Structure 1
Amino acid sequence: MALSFPVIFLLSANLGSKELQDLEEQIPTLTYDINEAEVILGKISRKERALFELRKHKLVTEEIHSLERSPSTPTTPDRKRARLQTPAQASSDIDSDTASDNEVQRRLVGPAPVVPTVKVVKLTWFTDSIQGGEVVPIDDYVVYEGRKVPKPPVEAPQLGPAEKAAEVIQRALADAGSTLLRSPRPGPPRGRRGETYVSHPVRPTLVRQSTSEHEIETQLPPIPEYLHTTYSCQRPTPNHPPNEAFIEELAKIKTARTLTGDKIGVRAYSSAIATIAAYPALTEVARLPGCGNKIALLFQEFRDTGQIREAREDESDPKLAVLKLFYNIWGVAETTARDFYNRGWRDLDDIVEYGWDTLTRVQQIGVKYYDELQLPIPRAEVEAIAGVILAHANQVRAGFEMVIVGGYRRGKAASGDVDVVLSHRDERATQDLVGRVVVGLERAGYVTHTLSLATTNSERGQAPLAWKGNAPRRGRAGAGFDTLDKALVVWQDPNPNPDLDPDPDPARNRSRNPNPHRRVDIIVSPWKTAGCAVLGWTSGTTFQRDLRRYCKRERLLKFDSSGVRSRRDGAWVDLESGPDGKPAPDMLTAERRVFEGLGLEWRPPEERCTG
């Protein structure tokens, strides 16, 4: 039975991206609007930090002191609040001789309005509740409690005669199209060693709506049935949706939010993009799940101007351009990109000159082959690479099957890397296979660097891993998530393309191979969970996130590409065998059975392009 939590807003401060994502998936009453929250949850322990976070999120409160609280009076309002004012009764209904002044006032205006309150609470309150199986009393975890103070209305300033005259002149010049009063927008300061990046403010836009537009919106057809869900895994999302141009603008804003560390914003834009991509004809936005007024205003601006100013400003921001350059280095996440920037580095040469020895091996490879690894991989080359991998697996033992996953399977014309899933009907064949395949590819000259080789699944005998809930993990970090055997390698075809290099001398060709280096992931799955592996490695990021969220909230299951486990007892759930207990005849049939076992309508890979 799901625990009954109040509405919670999660602070991203002091949380890593993986920890933040895990917590968001666990909170059943999560909101991304801090003004809606009854509890603000965070990894904080001091009132000063709590007040700082409230100020940062522009939530104004006044502190409730301990003497003001009453054990019988809740500190958070009931969801069904009483009306703030009731109609006044006739004076004849009030006995003024027996009623006190307060009673008369109460009867005239009704009960006093309930002032919304909010509590900033330590993260351990939520984790203790989850581990204990019940919502524990919150009082011992409260860092700060306050009443929400409504923002005062902005009053127009009273102008004197001289100020009024100046205002008239200002308006006249503006109407005439004068640019004399416009001050040039200052450019960002030149980069200095050690400065911290702060994203530029976005100017608000005024969206005008005609009467005819309003009438059209009131007569809009109902939202399609498949869009009533908030789970993108229940919707068809094509590779090239009708609203692709608008989505590209939103994706630019999402990228900027990623680079500046706005994790909540990234999650919100990801959900909005996935919904809009599934909508057939975009004439409205605010009613769509995961969107709202913000996205609606951006769509209005896009419809009127053909672009979004915030996206244009992000593209022209030189600091964001540097962060994006660093972020595209293989092995560099957004946090590391900002760290590079704050060290004063502005290009790859700075990284090599000032910080080469501080880079991981993956990052050094990413810098060394930066230009080559940015090149898109055509579908024909993806198929050729996959064919070589399958041939080497069958040299180890005949009978291996393979599915090319990732963007290739979703129908992309070109891919950023190559992802393949290998499996065999005999479970003994997949035991320790990944290492032997990589060694063979290295000897054949295809793999130039092996950056990561995980054999977690083989180390435990390929037995399905029971999910241990929220208990602390011991040993290897992340041991409960996607524990398949896999290798992350750098690939280069050792056979030069004569169209690129007509030199017939093989000795010289080996010394200066013109073929670009590629990123390749080789995943090995036992046959009994191959359907989960193919599903997990095929689908878009938001599709996968919503699939895990759907399994958790609707099915009480834990899903990842290494299998499905029950959240009740942690046991492995076999969704891929047939009614007779026999395994699936092939990997794609196994994937379809996972959809069916989860109660989901089958979606072909081309309809899982959520980004």
Structure 2
Amino acid sequence: MALDFPTIFLLPAQLGSEELEQLEEQIPTLTYDINEAEVVLGKVSRKERALFELRKHKLVTEEIDTTRRSASASPELKRLRLMTPVLASSDLDSDTASEGEIQRRLVGPAAPGTAGQTVKVVRLSWFTDSIKAGLVLPLDDYLVYEGRKVLAAPETSQPPPPAEKAAEVLKRALADASALPPSSRQKPFSGRRGETYVRNPVRPTLVRQTTSEHEVDAHLPPIPDYLHTTYSCQRPTPVHPPNEPFIEELSKIKTARTLTGDKIGVRAYSSAIATIAAYPYTFQTSQATEVARLPGCGAKIALLYQEFKETGQIREAREDESDPKLAVLKLFYNIWGVAETTARDFYNRGWRDIDDIVEYGWNTLTRVQQIGVKFYDEFLLKIPRAEVESISNIILAHANKIRKGFQMVIVGGYRRGKTESGDVDVVLSHPDESATLGFVERIVVSLERDKYITHTLSISTTNSERGQVPVSWKGNEKKAGTGFDTLDKALVVWQDPVWNAGESVKNPNPHRRVDIIISPWKTAGCAVLGWTSGTTFQRDLRRYCKKERSLKFDSSGIRSRLDGSWVDFESGPDGEPAPDMLTAERRVFAGLGLEWRPPEERCTG
């Protein structure tokens, strides 16, 4: 039975991506709107830090003197809490927005009845200790800060209306709100860090619906059954979905959230994008209700769609593209070997372009980052499918020259059907397990000898070092950075050594990024599945395995979360190995109880 926690907002600061994901799944009362929260939970130990986080998330409070406050809440605050509607779980959208957020976004900056409510910032250990104890512990020993919410919306003495479903709220807002003339709109100005603020903010413009549009709403196509699941690994998601232009705009916003470290925002937009990409129909109207009804979208995405349909663009995406700080962060983020946290670190050092990195920070870069800077422009060039095939065939030929019988699958975006790829990813395997033991070093040496590999960025032999035995599951006590699979692999820089010397003295062929993954035959299906599928597909596949099957999945195999043992879905009924790597991949789908999805239907982004 789930514990009766108060409504919790989780601060992503100082949380790794895997730890954040695990906590989000564990918190039964999680909200993505800090204004709804009774408790703000995070790795916070000082009041000053708590106040900083509240300001960062645009929540204004006035501190409560807990030393003078009586043990029980005042009757007025109790009445306010009782007056706050309890939302039905079926009405919530846990991926993007809660029902409370839906109401606030449509009717103003805050729902009535929230002024004067308190919020408590508590240490993360309160939640983890409560889980271990099996009961919700008192907050007193974990409390960092307590404040009373101060909201911009005027207070009202009337109780709030009953909670409504998202579609009902949207239709009511669409019918009641009148369009504002352009002259009445306030011009936004950009803050120091790229945020956009609006003086005297107005609610988004909502057009009135005509009778014919109401009739269209009544005849919208039914939501496919597969879209009622929260797992994108259970949906067909094509490379070019019907609403691709809108998805491209949302992807720009998601990228900005990535660069600014908004992990919760990235997850919310990723879920919404994956849902819309799996929706098999082109949106029929300019109204928000068609989008709002889709799982994982909510009112925020619905209103963004209405703005896109009316103007052909999304203002937030345009502002992100024109923000000078985000432009610099994106420049740094595109350096191979530089993650978003490192990009922000470069910016905070005062660097604003590649030349600054070379002049002021070259000696502080890792070797991989130096190579990323050196070949920056070349790595940004897309690789046509024909060249991906040519590079892969050369790798397979070298593998079979060393030991006959190797098989290969080109994975990544190429296998999902993209016309161009950012890099080349191949998985090699051999039915004889002894052939793959230590093979990654041999294939690299062979390709270097023939001058195809110019630089080896990293080489991992972890799988061979443990004798290619599938690693057992050891529980949730994982160190940061261990989420990547443990297969042998080489990440290299590739350049075709053949060119017409009469046309150029120096090799004019661009340098390419190539990943060579070596998998033992018994887990080759997991390797092909993991390295083929889109990012959100992979995330939801891991979540599905955890929640629905008590399994741990990554590209190096499947393990039981109950006893830690390796689970073999790839062998046949009599224990015979799969005849090829693609058959092994299909058997993994079947073993997990998932409908087979061809690679072209795993394009979740």
TM range (shorter): 0.7 to 0.9
1:143 aligns with 2:137: no
Note the 1:155-554 alignment, pairs <5 A.
197-201=193-197, 205-212=204-211, 213-281=213-281, 282-283=283-284, 284-471=290-477, 473=479, 478-479=481-482, 481-496=484-499, 498=500, 502-503=502-503, 512-554=506-548
1:564 aligns with 2:558: yes
- Structure 1 residues 235-244 or 252-261, which shifts more? 252-261
Aligned residue in 2 for 1:580 = 574
User: 1:386 Cα shift?
Assistant: 0.8
Question: Residue 459 of structure 2 contacts residue 491 of structure 2 at CA under 8 Å; is this kept in 1?
Answer: yes
Please give the secondary structure, in 1, of the residue aligned with 2:431. coil
Question: Residue 76 of structure 1 contacts residue 117 of structure 1 at CA under 8 Å; is this kept in 2?
Answer: no
The unaligned stretches of length 5 or more in structure 2 are 87-112, 157-179, 285-289
Structure 1 residues 200 and 37, CA gap change in structure 2 (3 angstroms): closer
Aligned residue in 2 for 1:122 = 123
- Structure 1 residues 279-288 or 245-254, which shifts more? 279-288
User: 1:338 Cα shift?
Assistant: 2.0
- CA deviations over 1:109-145 (Å, ceiling 9, x no partner): xxx99x9765433223344566x48456353434345
Question: Residue 423 of structure 1 contacts residue 430 of structure 1 at CA under 8 Å; is this kept in 2?
Answer: yes
Measure, in 2, the Cα distance between the counterparts of 1:183 and 1:286: 27
Aligned residue in 2 for 1:555 = 549
User: 1:416 Cα shift?
Assistant: 0.1
Question: Residue 482 of structure 1 contacts residue 561 of structure 1 at CA under 8 Å; is this kept in 2?
Answer: yes
Please give the secondary structure, in 1, of the residue aligned with 2:275. helix
Matched letter for residue 473 of structure 2: W
Matched letter for residue 14 of structure 1: Q
Measure, in 2, the Cα distance between the counterparts of 1:341 and 1:482: 31
Matched letter for residue 330 of structure 1: W
Measure, in 2, the Cα distance between the counterparts of 1:529 and 1:318: 46
Q: How many residues align?
A: 541
* Aligned residues with identical type, % of pairs: 74
Structure 1 residues 2 and 547, CA gap change in structure 2 (3 angstroms): farther
Please give the secondary structure, in 1, of the residue aligned with 2:427. strand
Matched letter for residue 199 of structure 1: E
| Aligned-residue RMSD, C-alpha | 3.5
User: 1:48 Cα shift?
Assistant: 3.7
Question: Residue 403 of structure 1 contacts residue 422 of structure 1 at CA under 8 Å; is this kept in 2?
Answer: yes
The structure whose Rg is larger is: 1
Structure 1 residues 602 and 119, CA gap change in structure 2 (3 angstroms): farther
Measure, in 2, the Cα distance between the counterparts of 1:149 and 1:197: 24
User: 1:366 Cα shift?
Assistant: 1.0
The unaligned stretches of length 5 or more in structure 1 are 85-111, 156-173, 189-195, 504-508
Question: Residue 457 of structure 2 contacts residue 493 of structure 2 at CA under 8 Å; is this kept in 1?
Answer: yes
Question: Residue 188 of structure 2 contacts residue 196 of structure 2 at CA under 8 Å; is this kept in 1?
Answer: no
Structure 1 residues 399 and 134, CA gap change in structure 2 (3 angstroms): farther
Please give the secondary structure, in 2, of the residue aligned with 1:285. helix
Measure, in 2, the Cα distance between the counterparts of 1:472 and 1:237: 32
Measure, in 1, the Cα distance between the counterparts of 2:4 and 2:470: 31
1:602 aligns with 2:596: yes
Matched letter for residue 195 of structure 2: S
- CA deviations over 1:404-447 (Å, ceiling 9, x no partner): 00000000001000001111111111111111111111111011
User: 1:591 Cα shift?
Assistant: 0.9
User: 1:513 Cα shift?
Assistant: 0.8
Structure 1 residues 518 and 2, CA gap change in structure 2 (3 angstroms): farther
Please give the secondary structure, in 1, of the residue aligned with 2:409. strand
Measure, in 1, the Cα distance between the counterparts of 2:376 and 2:414: 22
- CA deviations over 1:514-550 (Å, ceiling 9, x no partner): 1100000111111111111111110101111111111
Measure, in 1, the Cα distance between the counterparts of 2:135 and 2:32: 21
Please give the secondary structure, in 2, of the residue aligned with 1:513. coil
- Structure 1 residues 343-352 or 380-389, which shifts more? 343-352
User: 1:220 Cα shift?
Assistant: 3.4
Please give the secondary structure, in 1, of the residue aligned with 2:292. coil
Matched letter for residue 209 of structure 1: R
Question: Residue 590 of structure 2 contacts residue 596 of structure 2 at CA under 8 Å; is this kept in 1?
Answer: yes
Measure, in 1, the Cα distance between the counterparts of 2:33 and 2:604: 23
- CA deviations over 1:25-52 (Å, ceiling 9, x no partner): 5556543233444543211112343343
Question: Residue 485 of structure 1 contacts residue 524 of structure 1 at CA under 8 Å; is this kept in 2?
Answer: yes
Question: Residue 534 of structure 2 contacts residue 603 of structure 2 at CA under 8 Å; is this kept in 1?
Answer: yes
Structure 1 residues 9 and 154, CA gap change in structure 2 (3 angstroms): closer
Please give the secondary structure, in 2, of the residue aligned with 1:599. coil
Question: Residue 571 of structure 2 contacts residue 577 of structure 2 at CA under 8 Å; is this kept in 1?
Answer: yes
Matched letter for residue 261 of structure 1: G
Measure, in 2, the Cα distance between the counterparts of 1:12 and 1:31: 13
Question: Residue 5 of structure 2 contacts residue 136 of structure 2 at CA under 8 Å; is this kept in 1?
Answer: no
Measure, in 2, the Cα distance between the counterparts of 1:366 and 1:83: 53
Matched letter for residue 153 of structure 1: P
Matched letter for residue 575 of structure 2: G
Question: Residue 7 of structure 1 contacts residue 30 of structure 1 at CA under 8 Å; is this kept in 2?
Answer: yes
- Structure 1 residues 324-333 or 218-227, which shifts more? 218-227
Please give the secondary structure, in 2, of the residue aligned with 1:486. strand
Q: TM-score, normalised by structure 1?
A: 0.80
Question: Residue 64 of structure 1 contacts residue 147 of structure 1 at CA under 8 Å; is this kept in 2?
Answer: no
Structure 1 residues 187 and 273, CA gap change in structure 2 (3 angstroms): closer
User: 1:147 Cα shift?
Assistant: 6.5
User: 1:566 Cα shift?
Assistant: 1.4
User: 1:390 Cα shift?
Assistant: 1.2
Question: Residue 399 of structure 2 contacts residue 406 of structure 2 at CA under 8 Å; is this kept in 1?
Answer: yes
Please give the secondary structure, in 1, of the residue aligned with 2:455. strand
Note the 1:93-108 alignment, pairs <5 A.
none
- CA deviations over 1:173-195 (Å, ceiling 9, x no partner): x98x98xx99987788xxxxxxx
- Structure 1 residues 29-38 or 586-595, which shifts more? 29-38
User: 1:151 Cα shift?
Assistant: 6.0
User: 1:59 Cα shift?
Assistant: 4.1
Structure 1 residues 564 and 69, CA gap change in structure 2 (3 angstroms): farther
Structure 1 residues 152 and 253, CA gap change in structure 2 (3 angstroms): closer
